[in-house]
Amino acid sequence: MTVTETVAPPGRGERGRVLAAFLRSRSGVAGAVLLAVVVLAALLAPVLAPYSPGAVHFETPFQLPRTVGFPLGTDDLGRDVLSRILFGARASLQVGLLAVALAVLVGTPLGLAAGWWRAADVVVSRLTDLTLAFPFLIIAVGLAAISGASLAGAAVALGVAQVPTMIRVVRAETLRLREREFVLAARAMDASGPRVLLTHVLPNAASSVIVQATVIMPVAVIGEALLSFLGLGIQPPDPSLGIMLSDAQQYLYRAPWAAVFPGVAIVLICLAFNLVGDALRDALAPGARR
Amino acid sequence: MSALLELRGLRVGYADERGAVTEVLHGVDLTVDRGEKVAVVGGSGSGKSTAAAAALGLLPGGGRVTGGQVRYDGEDLTAAGEARWRALRGARIGLVPQDPMSNLNPVHRVGAQIAEALTAHGLARGRAARDRAVELMAEAGIPDPARRSRQYPHEFSGGMRQRVLIAMALAAEPDLLLADEPTSALDVTVQRRILDHLAGLTEARGTAMLLITHDLALAAERADRVVVMHEGRVVETGPAGRILTAPADDYTRRLVAAAPAIGGGTRAAPAPAAPEPVLVVDGLVREFRVRGSRERVRAVDDVSFTVDAGTTTALVGESGSGKTTTARIVLGLDRPTAGTVRVGGTDPFRSSRRERAAVRRAMQPVFQDPYGSLDPTSSVARIVDEPLRVLRVGDAASRRERVTELLDAVALPAATASRRPDELSGGQRQRVAIARALAARPGLVVCDEAVSALDVLVQDQILELLTGLQRDLGVSLLFITHDLAVVGQVAHRVVVLRAGRVAEQGPVDQVVGAPAADYTRELLAAIPGGG
């Protein structure tokens, strides 16, 4: 007796399901819109900005916001706050992306190796534990001091400081996936470790890596502002939100707007990534239907 | 006799986020009289659990009653509020849930959890509740209840936890006990003891029971009346004996025909005349270190058996018998502490990388969970030809051809190749897993509980497929299972494992027909409808 089963009609598939779940989240959509605005503003900074970020107008320092020609006012040297924020956001995102790329590119392979081979785990996890024993910013400041005060230096410092958390996430995923039956099936075919990791573990761990990347991003953006604020990141006259805050601090009572607007910009960038990251995590969670 | 629980033309639908309602129960009629034992039988997706949830006012998420009535003791509860349901649940309707592992709170003592059930219904408090909890545990058949009531759930075995849950369900002396697959997570011998005990308790108290199960034989054995459900409808209802012997409905007939039973005859192909062993396991031992102590536990203890070419050897045992560890060692996923495994004459643990590749090619697994054994990110074509790619067999074109051939061999349409596993049913996934196992033309396929997670009808088809493949391709099977009834259908030789040791082994007729070991007899007697 054979009862033939009909093949189910093609579903929307995993990608469609995740997208639908993401779009159902109101805060996720708000975050995505905000993120699009932030990214566009940063990309189009040279077009949108009324002035060059370094352009000094000695004749018009401390202009109030909504002054003709200076929508967000000017600072002590008469530089346009709006232009500097646009270019500063651009620098923030550059540092953030570089740091995230570094954390992903270094952390993922190490995490996969630590989750798969016991010998690798002993070395990698002990080093991870050691690094995580120090506060993130202490490590980042220390590394920035070593790698030199520049945009690239800040990115490397922040990225390296985030590698341990990335290793943790990927290692946990690998440990979870290595006992799954499809991995056992591949091992029974005598597939090599790297092969199983690349074809089965990595694709299934990708969603966790993406979510972790959206968590790292705002941390790196704030980290860049902090390093630049301390003089360990981007160097003047290049624009950075952190440098703007640091400059504005000296005349906070006279021109509060010069500190408030860059602060708001930092908040908005981080908020955008956090909202998107949260919604993405919920959408990628298994069984996320509602 | 008046009906205690009555579902009248019950319709239940689940609303999705857009408010569109999908109906899953299409007018279900079901009654349970006082003191009566009724079993609801159906495969997955039949709506049996939804009906049970509706009878408890516990429809999950977007589920709601869209028509008909739920009546309890003459009262219409269809529109009853949560407060009314809370007064009924536990006090008048007790629930024995399916999974004893997740239904007890791990951080509270067992006795306190039973006492809580009493306190919640205002039946006893403080000291009196604790004493009553101990009594209830004793009644549920838990030895040394006073001491054990102060233990935590992790100190109890699965069967003992289920007894705790039974004690809890009966704490408030309900009129109706709803048991949703109460023993499907337990070994057969434990299942038999628990159900016997449950029957005794409900008998003594005159409690009515609604038993939800996928196992028709179990339902017939344990209930006065059996209700068969299929796709959200009741297709047949009648006295337990009649349903098994003279099923009226077509679906029931198929269920009865598909249910494996001892003495139901074999469907295995006759064994070849001159047996030649493809797998020889000799004196296999696997020890595990116990965490935090120097003690070592022998999960597999001196196990020896063979699989002859073109035949099936079944490895039977309950949980903890070492059958899965043995399978893992045979597949090369684990290393033995002592003993040898020889596949076609080579020992994969003592050979070069090239020889090992040949051994791996000669042997492929099919696992239990059709949802876990296929990589959700790969297409079916990529899953099926993976062994070929790993072992570097053929080129892209020949592999594509082979995939079509394999899908055909496991009776799946060629269009399946481009699908992803989440678009397939459980049975189809298991067919894909079998196709993958066959891809590199292995001599031996290791089936680790390969049909245990499937519905009876699908299980029947997969067993048919496996025996058919054996007949056509001459593959040998190492068939690992806890179900002796299935063994009788497919195996030539049987190895019964208990606590890591071989309790008995021999040809299937001998082991199943005239068992020598007490343990085998106990296993056979525990099969519902068998003893």
Residue B62 scores a pLDDT above 80: no
**Contact flag A185-B433 (C-beta cutoff 8 Å):** yes
The ipTM is: 0.77
Lookup: tokens for B380: 């079916």
Q: B484 and B527 in contact (C-beta within 8 Å)?
A: yes
Region of A91 on the Ramachandran plot (φ > 0 left; ψ -120 to 50 alpha; else beta): alpha
What distance in Å separates residue B40's CA from the closest CA in chain A? 24
How many cross-chain Cβ pairs, A to B, lie less than 8 Å apart? 105
Chain A residues in contact with B17 (beta carbon < 8 A): 24, 290
What distance in Å separates residue A116's CA from the closest CA in chain B? 14
Residue B530: the pLDDT is: 57
Query: If you measure CA to CA, which chain A residue comes closest to B16?
Result: A290
Percent of chain B with pLDDT over 70: 97
Position A257, amino acid = W
Mean pLDDT (chain A) is 85
Average pLDDT on A18-22 reads 81
Lookup: tokens for B228: 């068969």
Task: Find the CB nearest A187 among B333, B425, B433.
Answer: B333
Task: Find the CB nearest B372 among A3, A182, A199.
Answer: A182
Query: If you measure CA to CA, which chain B residue comes closest to A2?
Result: B461
Task: Find the CB nearest A181 among B61, B372, B377.
Answer: B372
Query: If you measure CA to CA, which chain B residue comes closest to A24?
Result: B17
Residue A4: the pLDDT is: 39
Residue B495 scores a pLDDT above 90: yes
When scoring A118, A178, A182, A210 by the number of chain B Cβ atoms within 10 A, the one with the most, hence best to mutate, is: A182
Within 10 Å of residue B452's Cβ, how many Cβ atoms? 15
Chain A residues in contact with B412 (beta carbon < 8 A): 7
Residue B1 scores a pLDDT above 60: no
What distance in Å separates residue A3's CA from the closest CA in chain B? 7
Chain B residues in contact with A199 (beta carbon < 8 A): 375, 378, 386
Please report the domains of chain A, with CATH numbers, ordered by start residue.
Answer: 47-273 (1.10.3720.10)
Chain B interface includes A1 (CB < 8 A): yes
Chain B residues in contact with A1 (beta carbon < 8 A): 254, 257-258, 460, 464
Lowest mean pLDDT among B101-105, B147-151, B298-302: B101-105
**Contact flag A200-B425 (C-beta cutoff 8 Å):** no
Chain B interface includes A287 (CB < 8 A): no
**β-bridge pairing B63-72 and B363-366:** unpaired
**Contact flag A184-B365 (C-beta cutoff 8 Å):** yes
Distance, in Å, from the CA atom of B180 to the CA atom of B48, rounded to the nearest integer, reads: 9
B17 pLDDT band, cuts 50/70/90, is: low
- pTM: predicted TM-score of the whole model, two decimal places: 0.80
Which range in B220-229, B346-355, B356-365 is most confidently predicted, on average pLDDT? Answer: B220-229
Chain A residues in contact with B372 (beta carbon < 8 A): 180-182
Chain A residues in contact with B386 (beta carbon < 8 A): 186, 189, 191, 199
Residue B313 scores a pLDDT above 90: yes
**Contact flag A24-B436 (C-beta cutoff 8 Å):** no
Task: Find the CB nearest B373 among A5, A7, A185.
Answer: A185
Residue A8 scores a pLDDT above 50: no
Distance, in Å, from the CA atom of B50 to the CA atom of B378, rounded to the nearest integer, reads: 33
Chain B interface includes A2 (CB < 8 A): yes
Chain A residues in contact with B428 (beta carbon < 8 A): 5, 7
What distance in Å separates residue B367's CA from the closest CA in chain A? 7
What distance in Å separates residue A203's CA from the closest CA in chain B? 7
Query: If you measure CA to CA, which chain A residue comes closest to B448?
Result: A181
3-class secondary structure per residue, chain A: CCCCCCCCCCCCHHHHHHHHHHHHCHHHHHHHHHHHHHHHHHHCHHHHCCCCCCCCCCCCCCCCCCECCECCCECCCCCEHHHHHHHHHHHHHHHHHHHHHHHHHHHHHHHHHHHHCHHHHHHHHHHHHHHHCCCHHHHHHHHHHHHCCCHHHHHHHHHHHHHHHHHHHHHHHHHHHHCCHHHHHHHHCCCCHHHHHHHHHHHHHHHHHHHHHHHHHHHHHHHHHHHHHCCCCCCCCCCCHHHHHHHHHCCCCCCCHHHHHHHHHHHHHHHHHHHHHHHHHHHHCCCCCC
Residue A7 scores a pLDDT above 70: no
Residue B18: the pLDDT is: 67
Placement of tokens 């597949």 in the chain: B331
Placement of tokens 């690349």 in the chain: A198
Q: Helix, strand or coil for residue B163?
A: helix
Q: What is the pLDDT of residues A77-100, one digit of tens each?
A: 888 888 899 999 999 999 999 999
Query: If you measure CA to CA, which chain A residue comes closest to B442?
Result: A189
Position B91, amino acid = A
Task: Find the CB nearest B360 among A10, A13, A190.
Answer: A190
A105 pLDDT band, cuts 50/70/90, is: very high
DSSP single-letter state for residue B513? I
Q: Helix, strand or coil for residue B298?
A: strand
Query: If you measure CA to CA, which chain A residue comes closest to B254?
Result: A1
Chain A residues in contact with B365 (beta carbon < 8 A): 184-185, 188
Q: What is the pLDDT of residues A29-79, one digit of tens each?
A: 999 999 999 999 989 888 888 888 887 888 877 777 777 778 887 877 888
A264 pLDDT band, cuts 50/70/90, is: very high
**Contact flag A188-B364 (C-beta cutoff 8 Å):** yes
**Contact flag A189-B360 (C-beta cutoff 8 Å):** yes
Task: Find the CB nearest B420 among A4, A13, A180.
Answer: A13
B265 pLDDT band, cuts 50/70/90, is: low
**Contact flag B464-A195 (C-beta cutoff 8 Å):** no
Nearest residue to A112 via CA among A181, A170, A195: A170
Comparing B463 with A61, the larger pLDDT belongs to B463
Chain A residues in contact with B460 (beta carbon < 8 A): 1
Residue B528: the pLDDT is: 79
Residue B134 scores a pLDDT above 60: yes
Task: Find the CB nearest B369 among A8, A11, A181.
Answer: A181
Q: Is B133 exposed, middle or buried (0-12, 13-18, 19+ CB in 10 A)?
A: buried
Chain B residues in contact with A8 (beta carbon < 8 A): 423-425
A11 pLDDT band, cuts 50/70/90, is: very low
Q: B90 and B84 in contact (C-beta within 8 Å)?
A: no
Chain A residues in contact with B356 (beta carbon < 8 A): 190
Chain B interface includes A186 (CB < 8 A): yes
Lookup: tokens for A53: 């970020």
Task: Find the CB nearest B377 among A10, A185, A204.
Answer: A204
Distance, in Å, from the CA atom of B394 to the CA atom of A195, rounded to the nearest integer, reads: 19
